[in-house]
């Protein structure tokens, strides 16, 4: 019988409910655990989500954001989003890890010795839920993660309620902060590969996420007072050493997945024409870190390809286009699984200031963000970068466009995030792709996957009807 993603997997179910009852002594393993350890599960959730979404961000998100172009197996790049190939179905990544994270929350509430885990797990729940609903819109949420104790076929909840209701994104961030601030026991948080058990860093992470999510919904809700309070308090991620990240290594199994796959998969992705033009117009040296000169170049030039070619009728030579830089394959020790960074927070605050949502120096915040983003990608910031085309008030552009474009550049590998920000702001200006399978429209949401129609059909039909037959051109709540 098929199982939905919402049920607890067999392994964890056995760990949580194992017992020996009437078995003979010979059949009892005295070393077998009778419950899952939250420190192991916390590490698993952080690593599994970060690793999977970094891969997804490269092979699918970067296509939607037009950071990269796919040469073959590229129906997704042509915006047939219901036909994922090398990537493009992050739905199970979200639900698997949200479900496992819910186990941490339950365990933390059942034992006083485990209550240190509740705050971080609530913050992770908010983080993953936001990523899920920002991609898909309305999704199963409030009854979706309780496994055998909850709904196997949960109803879809509105994005508005997922953001604003009790038990939703903003509420869980507040509750997570509260749980950590009220924690006074000496038992440390273990399994934390983001902050090495530092609870103050989790609070800083949560408050930084609040800045991000309040800005995201600012067209729908008056967020100014809360944003101003967060800015004035100053307890958010400010420098790269505070980033919510974990590092990949140069060796399997902890190297970036594109370094482990066959070279043909890696070589399927090249510099996009959109990214090439933006970086060249800004005289941006990060192109040398993020990509490599094309093989046929005579003087180290870079060359991009328009997204969405028809691979069945268009012949392209790989040697004429720039592959991803060595940081994504040969030397992934300097690559991170990126949950949230100082530069992203600075750009969010710069936008909030420019839009009048907070009182602050928008240009200073923007320039701080740019400097932090260059540092993050291990590239020296040219002395004239912020006085040339990348200047805050450069001719022919606007401050908002500059802010979002810089965030877009730095978010390469977090391509879904760049695409979400494009949908919210319209920046940077993306191109009509070469051979669109979506009537030359750029998609504005991810479609619910086919397995959802099969396994949660009744609720899926309601959600599909509410999105014009599960259309990728139907806006999410904050984008309406």
pLDDT in tens, 335-349: 999 999 999 999 999
DSSP-derived secondary structure letter, 421: H
| CA–CA distance, 198 with 49 (Å, rounded to integer) | 20
| CA–CA distance, 16 with 35 (Å, rounded to integer) | 4
Query: Which pLDDT value is given to residue 409?
Result: 98
Low-confidence ranges of the chain (pLDDT < 70): 1-35, 147-150
| CA–CA distance, 165 with 153 (Å, rounded to integer) | 21
Alpha helices in 182-297 (DSSP H): 199-216, 224-233, 257-260, 263-266, 273-281, 287-290
> What letters, b where the CB count within 10 A reaches 16 and e where it falls short, cover 133-147?
bbbbbbbbbbebbbb
Question: 396: phi > 0 → left, psi -120 to 50 → alpha, else beta; which?
Answer: left
Strands (DSSP E) found in 92-197: 139-140, 156-157
Decide: 43 and 197 in contact? Cβ < 8 Å. no
CA-to-CA separations, 416 to 131, 132, 353, 426, in angstroms, rounded: 9, 11, 24, 14
| CA–CA distance, 16 with 100 (Å, rounded to integer) | 12
Place of tokens 């500059």: 402
Query: Which pLDDT value is given to residue 149?
Result: 65
Going by their DSSP bridges, the two strands 336-340 and 156-157 should be labelled as: unpaired
DSSP-derived secondary structure letter, 156: E
| CA–CA distance, 128 with 105 (Å, rounded to integer) | 14
DSSP-derived secondary structure letter, 246: E
| CA–CA distance, 413 with 309 (Å, rounded to integer) | 21
Query: Which pLDDT value is given to residue 28?
Result: 37
């Amino acid at each position: 019988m098929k199982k939905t993603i919402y049920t607890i997997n067999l392994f964890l179910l056995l760990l949580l409910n194992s017992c020996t009852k009437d078995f003979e002594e010979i059949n009892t393993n005295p070393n077998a655990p009778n419950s899952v350890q939250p420190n192991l599960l916390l590490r698993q959730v952080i690593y599994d989500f970060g690793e999977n979404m970094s891969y997804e961000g490269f092979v699918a998100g970067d296509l939607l954001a037009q950071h990269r172009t796919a040469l073959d197996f590229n129906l997704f790049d042509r915006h047939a989003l219901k036909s994922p190939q090398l990537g493009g179905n992050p739905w199970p990544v979200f639900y698997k890890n949200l479900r496992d994270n819910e186990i941490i929350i339950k365990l933390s509430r059942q034992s006083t010795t485990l209550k240190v885990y509740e705050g971080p797990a609530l913050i992770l729940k908010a983080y993953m839920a936001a990523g899920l609903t920002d991609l898909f819109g309305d999704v199963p949420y409030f009854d979706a993660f309780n496994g055998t104790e909850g709904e196997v076929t949960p109803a879809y909840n509105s994005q508005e309620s997922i953001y604003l209701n009790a038990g939703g994104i903003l509420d869980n961030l507040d509750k997570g902060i509260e749980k950590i601030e009220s924690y006074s026991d000496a038992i440390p948080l273990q399994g934390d590969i983001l902050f090495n058990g530092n609870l103050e860093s989790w609070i800083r992470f949560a408050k930084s996420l609040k800045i991000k999510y309040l800005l995201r919904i600012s067209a729908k809700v008056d967020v100014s007072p809360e944003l101003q309070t967060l800015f004035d308090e100053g307890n958010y991620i400010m420098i790269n050493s505070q980033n919510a990240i974990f590092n990949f290594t140069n060796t399997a199994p902890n190297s970036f997945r594109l370094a482990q796959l066959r070279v043909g998969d890696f070589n399927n992705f090249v510099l996009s024409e959109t990214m090439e033009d933006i970086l060249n117009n800004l005289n941006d040296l990060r192109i040398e870190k993020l990509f490599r000169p094309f093989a046929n170049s005579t003087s180290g030039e870079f060359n991009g390809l328009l997204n969405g070619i028809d691979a069945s009728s268009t012949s392209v030579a790989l040697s004429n286009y720039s592959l991803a830089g060595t940081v994504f394959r040969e030397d992934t020790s300097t690559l991170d699984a990126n949950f949230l960074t100082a530069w992203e927070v600075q750009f969010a605050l710069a936008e909030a200031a420019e839009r009048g949502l907070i009182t602050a120096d928008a240009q200073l915040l923007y320039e701080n963000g740019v400097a932090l983003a260059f540092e993050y990608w291990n590239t020296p910031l040219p002395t004239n970068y912020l006085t040339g085309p990348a200047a805050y008030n450069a001719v022919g552009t606007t401050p908002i466009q500059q802010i979002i474009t810089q965030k877009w550049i730095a978010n390469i590998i977090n391509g879904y995030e760049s695409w979400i920000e494009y949908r919210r702001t319209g920046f940077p200006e993306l191109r009509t792709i070469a051979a669109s399978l979506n009537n030359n429209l750029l998609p504005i949401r991810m479609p619910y996957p086919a397995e959802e129609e099969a396994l949660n059909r009744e609720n899926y039909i309601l959600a599909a009807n509410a999105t014009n037959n599960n259309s990728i051109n139907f806006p999410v709540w904050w984008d309406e």
